[in-house]
Amino acid sequence: MDPTILKSMIEGVHLSVYAAIKPGAIHRLRLDKRIEYYVSNTIAAINHIIDAIEYGEKIRRGDLAATSLGLGRLLSKGLREAYRWLPNNVYPSFIVPQIIYSLAISHSDIDSIIKDHGKLVRSLDLFISTTSWKEIKYFIDALKGVHREDMYEHLSSAGISHIAGIGEGVSFRDVFRVLGSKWYAFISLDTRESKTYEYVKKLLDYYRKFRDANNAIIALYLEMIMPRLPSWAKPYVEEAFKEGLMASRVGSKKLFELDLKLRKHGVSFNEYVGLLGIITGLAVYEGLRA
């Protein structure tokens, strides 16, 4: 098993969650238990990320058929293990993309997310195009089992129920697309809709520009949330970029002031952190370092 994939996923969530200052989202300068929970979810799922890597290798070698994988069962085990570690604090938007990307990277056997992007997409498509209702049901039932009724009910409202037979013809891609409308990390799994590849490239561009992972992650985060920021908040971002973000006192101050004002107005962008986590993990695999 290639440990690089596992290390990249762990480092990706670590760097993205603790990156500061991310206005409107959790970061290391804010007292928020979710910081620990996000990282601990990944730690709890380590064995299942390893399983995904090993499955990818077996399928690539021809020792296991892709149809025999049991993706729903694999995801279910990861979620339920996280629940055993962190009852009532399970975050599928971290665990699920990490497991599936680990599977796809291992299966595609790529050295570079950027240069071998086409191979990675083909591997992702192989797995998320699965329409086995039995496997999809494993995953949906697990959401309810780990008390993520919000996700379970969101799927039900879109017509994707746990009741066997209702979902005939539904694929994991469809399930993730529905979840991605509220929990953005799931969109990273949809090769037809996501901007994952572009985000990884941009993060690495920012890394080369700032020569600092923390600043690069903040820059990408700000780019992600910019379209959803209130008009009054955008000048803060523009000024912070102009001053080099956290590389200067002025830039840091602007980010801090914006963070305070967004929280005062009840504006939260925490759901972008899961997406940022998987993007950062892929960038780490490509070569980004703290």
- What are the tens digits of pLDDT across the range 88-124? 899 999 999 999 999 999 999 999 999 999 999 999 9
Per the CB < 8 A criterion, the answer to whether 77 and 49 are in contact is no
118: its two tokens: 């086409």
Per domain, the residue ranges of the chain are: 3-286
Distance from CA of residue 51 to its chain's centroid?
18
Encode pLDDT of 30-52 as tens digits: 889 899 999 999 999 999 999 99
Dihedral (Cα; 75, 81, 86, 87), 10-degree rounding: 90
Q: What is the pLDDT of residue 30?
A: 86
Asked whether the predicted pLDDT for residue 1 surpasses 70, the reply is yes
| Average pLDDT rounded to a whole number, residues 153-167 | 75
Share of the chain above pLDDT 70, in %: 98
Tokens 């959401």, residue located: 143
Alpha-carbon span 261 to 255, nearest angstrom: 10
Q: What is the pLDDT of residue 168?
A: 62
The 3-state DSSP class for residue 150 equals: helix
pTM, 2 dp: 0.95
Asked whether the predicted pLDDT for residue 165 surpasses 60, the reply is no
Asked whether the predicted pLDDT for residue 129 surpasses 70, the reply is yes
- Which residue in 134, 142, 13 sits closest to 84, CA to CA? 142
Asked whether the predicted pLDDT for residue 164 surpasses 80, the reply is no
142: its two tokens: 């697990």
Per the CB < 8 A criterion, the answer to whether 284 and 12 are in contact is yes
Q: What is the pLDDT of residue 194?
A: 78
**Which residue blocks in the chain are alpha helix, DSSP H?**
3-18, 34-44, 46-61, 71-85, 92-108, 117-128, 133-145, 149-157, 172-180, 196-210, 213-225, 234-242, 249-264, 271-286
Q: What is the pLDDT of residue 163?
A: 58
Q: What is the pLDDT of residue 193?
A: 77
Q: What is the pLDDT of residue 179?
A: 97
Dihedral (Cα; 6, 181, 146, 152), 10-degree rounding: -140
Q: What is the pLDDT of residue 230?
A: 96
Q: What is the mean pLDDT of the chain?
A: 95
Asked whether the predicted pLDDT for residue 242 surpasses 60, the reply is yes
- Which residue in 88, 117, 102, 95 sits closest to 41, CA to CA? 95
| Average pLDDT rounded to a whole number, residues 257-281 | 97
| Average pLDDT rounded to a whole number, residues 70-95 | 97
Q: What is the pLDDT of residue 191?
A: 86
**Residue 158 dihedral angles phi and psi, to the nearest 5°:** -95, 5
| Average pLDDT rounded to a whole number, residues 62-71 | 95
Alpha-carbon span 24 to 43, nearest angstrom: 25
pLDDT category at 159 given cuts 50, 70, 90 is confident
Buried b (16+ CB within 10 A) or exposed e, 41-56: bbebbeebbbbbbbbb
